[in-house]
Amino acid sequence: MQADYVVVGAGSAGCAMAYRLAEAGKSVLVIETGGSDIGPFINMPGALSYPMNMKRYDWGYQTEPEPHLGGRRLVCPRGKVIGGSSSINGMIYVRGHARDFDHWADSGADGWAYADVLPYYKRLEDWHDGGRGGDPDWRGQGGPLHVTRGPGKNPLTQAWIKAGGQAGYELTSDYNGHQQEGFGPFDATIWKGRRWSAASAYLRPAIATGRCEVIKGLATRVVMTNGRATGVELTDGRVIEARAEVILAASALNSPKLLMLSGIGPAAHLAEHGIEVIADRAGVGQNLQDHLELYVQMAGKGRHSLYKYWSLLGKAMVGAQWLFTKSGIGASNQFEACGFIRSRAGIDYPDIQFHFLPLAVRYDGVGASEGFQAHTGPMRSESRGEVTLRSADPQADPRIFFNYMSKESDWVDFRKCIRLTREIFAQEAFAPYRDGELIPGPQAQSDDELDDVIREHVESAYHPCGTCKMGRAGDPAAVVDPMGRVIGVDGLRVADSSIFPRITNGNLNAPSIMVGEKIADHVLGRPPLPPSNDAPWIHPEWQTARR
């Protein structure tokens, strides 16, 4: 089993990488532990809560007890299936703010400023506005990844955007375009009523070239020969050999795990598990980041929410309509409106994101009721965690410790998120629909009362990143250089959300795919796409005004 390139992980970045390498005439073997992504639970957008809660498709990871959340263990779904987490996620497409990438470049990821990454976003997109406005000059056409918008016709969805304007915030027709800040329609990786995962966009076209093949198996380590990566060993003893390079795209949880199992990581930690040190890189597994969110839920008047479809008969009807026509409620992820705002004056770009859902329900589908909710949380928490080895057994889950809410600023920011969400729900646009607050509940008003709610109810937004930080070769905390090359060894790169120096604004699927696209050019030795001169919108009074 031999190819020019061996890619570990058929997820968002790995699929993009495989396609661009195969398209360039290279032979590629992709190692993936999970099975097929064919089936209604994955491909029906409205069924999104199912695959991430199914052992068949999810690694089933949990965090360690989180000390600042009362010792709770939070679920941490990661896709164990063709397409990786792009096959089980909420299909929301957010590039991130321009300032996120400028921060990357300023922190040592040279060549990853917004001007550098915007051309890659345009290359990967096939954007469709769905008649809901947009910013076509900032978007891509003809790329592999279809990006669409739901119809946005639910009156609650429309009320959300109106309420944002009534509360004094900006409205934006395209948060992925010139202006992220404001309230407007959400983008989604859905095409013709089906989930459009990285497998659909990239992996199947890669296989169709005849130069890419998927190998089912679990990687145990990168095979190193004289300081160079030459292949990947699987649990069944097979060695998949790479003539040119090995590329890890196994997620922010499994890429650092595989590096450490291969002897690349903090030397003392590797020694604890009897692993020979190939390269002492203190940053492997460190710098773990995520977005936490709280579902601020309101009870609803009338039957405007999706709850009317929640009965067994209702779900059967929605499923049947989707199965036969790929239309109706099941053809949308139902996250059709959003908001990005600044929590206070003096912050130059949004630090709070809202996902609006016209139903009151947990992400795992439990506790549905007549109502609506906004998922909200800070975008740039100062808390940092780590991924470490539980043992040297490659089949053991990694030890995942986010250290959520470990900074006082996180509590201040989260209380602000809740109070600002309440203010939005109190606007006139929601007057015909609101019927009392469910979570946090009207009794939770003081800082201490809100902190208790946060401690009990916050959940991960499933955006882990940062554990193989990208930076300059002289940075002791960096794991890869700006071309994705693992510092201290040859022939080995990482290309997934683990290389993010800092978490981006919003959901991470889009920047993960962009990483796969951009690093593919570095692998192929191509000059980067010419930088863009487009300047993003920044609130002209950001220094003195919050809205």
Asked if residue 480 belongs to a known ligand binding site, the reply is: no
Task: Give every CB contact of residue 90 below 8 A, 6+ residues apart in sequence.
Answer: 48, 333, 335, 355, 507
DSSP 492-518: EEE-SGGG-SSPPSS-SHHHHHHHHHH
Is residue 463 annotated as a catalytic residue, yes or no? Answer: yes
Scored b (16 or more CB within 10 A) or e, 377-410 reads bbbbbebebbbbbeeeebeebbbbbbbbbbeeeb
The gap from C-alpha 426 to its chain's centroid, in whole angstroms, comes to: 30
Beta strand 228-234 pairing with 219-225: antiparallel
Buried b (16+ CB within 10 A) or exposed e, 243-258: eebbbbbbbbbbbbbb
**Rg of the chain's alpha carbons, rounded to an integer?**
22
169, 85, 139: which is closest to 341 by C-alpha? 169
Residue ranges of the alpha helices (H) in 342-446? Answer: 408-425
For residues 222 and 421, give the distance between their C-alpha atoms in angstroms, rounded to a whole number: 47
The rounded distance, in Å, linking the Cα atoms of 505 and 239 is 39
Strand partners, 39: none
Q: With 0-12 CB in 10 A as exposed, 13-18 as middle and 19+ as buried, what is 446? A: exposed
CA distance 372 to 382: 30
Beta bridge partners of 470: 480
Q: Are the C-beta atoms of residues 513 and 83 closer than 8 Å to each other?
A: no
The shares of helix, strand and coil residues in the chain, as percent rounded to the nearest 5, are: 30, 25, 45
Q: Which residues lie below 8 Å from residue 357, measured CB to CB, with a gap of 6+?
A: 334, 335, 372, 373, 374, 375
DSSP element (H, E) containing 233: strand 228-234
Comparing C-alpha atoms, which of 39, 47, 90 is closest to residue 331? 47
Tokens of 68: 């600042």
Q: What is the three-state SS of 138-165?
A: HCCCCCCEEEECCCCCCHHHHHHHHHHH
Six-digit token string for 428? 């006139």
What is the C-alpha to C-alpha distance for residues 218 and 360, in angstroms, rounded to an integer? 38
Nearest to 543 by CA among 351, 342, 379: 342
Which one-letter DSSP state was computed for residue 100? H
Choose the catalytic residue: 355, 463, 522, 539.
Answer: 463
Residue numbering of the annotated binding site for FAD: 81
Annotated catalytic sites, by residue?
463
